Structure 1
Amino acid sequence: MRFGIFIYDGVEPIDLATFGVLSMARRIAPEIEICTIAPRAGSIVLASGLKVIADFGVDDAPACNLVIVTGGPGWPAQAEAPATLDYIRRVHASGRIASVCTGGMILAASGILDGGAATTKREVVPPERSPLEAMRAGYDAIDVCEAMLVDRGDGLVTGGGVTLCIDTTLHLLATMLGPRVANETARIMEYQRAWRANRIEFPPVLVTR
């Protein structure tokens, strides 16, 4: 099962915890494969200067069972990048796609969130504007929720801000590979208590179909 992580210049490094969760999950479910996808293959400069190498660009990316779109200060540029938005629409049309943090703003710009519920990062350093409020103000066709994550039940999941990318990835593992894989991954990460507390204090929105 192949998971793709979409990155770009200006991604917040902590959003790569999505990769870390999947890496730990491979100890439980070795069939997991992980690749990184970017607007172009090669070197990507994350927020604060960390450099990573994207395995693929959007034009040669392999088919994935799920693509996770990350967030960070570089999201506004991606929300206006035709190649990125076209790639997101293609992935959504053929399979599962998810976002973490302000990756949800990129999904919103692509139009795939229209007609349903979604969430994104809410907490900011003033006077920065909350992306959650920006989504609410800028996209009338989206039912914007303040939640840990929103799972619309149709292969489309949006996660909340920053470290909630961990919770969102665990949720995706539970959905796709079963609760045992997610629970065991949380256990070996020593994250089960935090995951449980987050679900109680900041519940997900789960839409049944």
Structure 2
Amino acid sequence: MHAQFVLFDGFDPLDVVAPFEVLVAGGAAAGGDLTVELVAAEGPREVVSGTPGLTLRATGALDPVRPGVVVVPGASGPVEGDPDAGDETIPVLLARVGRTELAPLMRRALTEPEVLVATVCGGSLALAMAGLIEGRRATTNALGIDLLDATGVEVVAARVVDDGDLITAGGVTSGLDLGLHLLDRMYGPRIAHAVERLFEYERRGVVWADRGREPVAW
């Protein structure tokens, strides 16, 4: 099993590092079954995050057909500013993803039956603004909910939304919850629980999924 964490210029490092560590620990708990790697659309390179002074190295190129999980983070930077004046706001950074080599690769990944695509925070917005998840159920950071809705995505107000082969998580710290849910999906609750205990972190809220009885109005 493989997990590829996608880096792009301006990415949010905590969106990457939190679930990355969860999946590394889960892979160890599963007997070394999971390989976790930092990748970029352009191949191995130093990728500058949106947090000043923090750079991570992608060690490989994103392979959109490789069975396993592809995780797309959000961006880090100012929320407000004037794009016409060159301000690198988070929406600007996320919209730029759709104009890079990453967009067609993610389009391919979303069609592969053996690939699970997951996002943290604004990662779902990056895919949505590239026109890749229209009509899908998803969530994002609370600050980006209206923008996500405007792209034609069916927004679900939950910390983690499981829409089959697309799993999205909300704000930046929800990457921990996403990682644990991915372990639950891949290996079951025992592995996920073991990592919860190791990290001394309990998942927050209920993972929303399109199953079970519909609630009645009250």
Shorter-normalised TM range: 0.7 to 0.9
Question: What residue identity is the alignment partner of 2:207?
Answer: P
| Higher-helix-fraction structure | 1
Alpha carbons 1:115, 1:142 under 8 Å: kept: yes
- The code of the aligned residue for 1:108 comes to A
Supply the AA of the counterpart residue of 1:100: V
When residues 62 and 54 of structure 1 are mapped into structure 2, their CA distance, relative to the original with a 3 A threshold, is: farther
Give the residue type in structure 1 aligned to 2:48: V
Please name the residue that 1:135 is paired with.
148
- Equivalent positions of 1:103-118 (< 5 A) are 103-118=123-138
The one-character-per-residue Cα deviations of 1:3-60 (angstroms, maximum 9, x if unpaired) are 11111121112112111111221331111101111132210111222111101234x6
After TM superposition, the structure 1 stretch with the greater mean CA deviation from structure 2, 158-167 or 10-19, is 10-19
Give aligned pairs, total: 190
Measured after TM superposition, the shift of residue 93 of structure 1 is 0.9
Contact 1:152–1:208 (CA under 8 A) maintained in structure 2 = no
Alignment map for 1:1-209 (pairs within 5 Å): 1-15=1-15, 16-29=17-30, 30-40=32-42, 41-46=44-49, 47-58=51-62, 63-73=66-76, 74-78=93-97, 80-94=98-112, 95-122=115-142, 130-136=143-149, 138-139=150-151, 141-153=152-164, 155-192=165-202, 195=203, 198-199=204-205, 203-208=206-211
Q: Distance in 1 between matches of 2:192 and 2:131?
A: 30
Question: Which consecutive residues of structure 1, in runs of 5 or more, have no partner in the other structure?
Answer: 123-129
- Check whether the contact 2:65–2:109 (CA below 8 A) recurs between aligned residues: no
| Structure number with bigger Rg | 2
Cα distance in 2 for residues equivalent to 1:170 and 1:85: 26
Q: Shift in Å at residue 206 of structure 1?
A: 0.9
Q: CA deviation at 1:70?
A: 0.8
**Distance across 2 between alignment mates of 1:61 and 1:148:** 26
- Asked if structure 1 preserves the Cα contact closer than 8 Å seen for 2:28 and 2:34, the reply is no
Given that 2:12 and 2:74 are in contact with CA atoms closer than 8 Å, whether structure 1 keeps it comes out as yes
Q: Given the two structures, how large is their TM-score scaled by the length of structure 2?
A: 0.81
Q: Which amino acid aligns with 1:26?
A: G
TM-aligned CA distance change 1:62 to 1:90, over 3 Å? closer
The answer to whether the 8 A contact 2:64-2:108 is kept is: no
- Given that residues 46 and 58 in structure 2 are in contact (C-alpha distance below 8 angstroms), is that contact kept between their aligned partners in structure 1? yes
- Residues in 1 aligned to 2:59 and 2:67: alpha-carbon distance in whole angstroms: 13
Q: 1:85-120 deviations in whole A, cap 9, x for unaligned?
A: 101111111121111110011121243322231101
Q: What CA distance in whole angstroms lies between the structure 2 residues aligned with 1:116 and 1:172? A: 19
Identity of aligned residues (%): 29
Q: CA RMSD in A?
A: 1.8
8 Å Cα contact 1:119-1:132 kept in structure 2:
yes
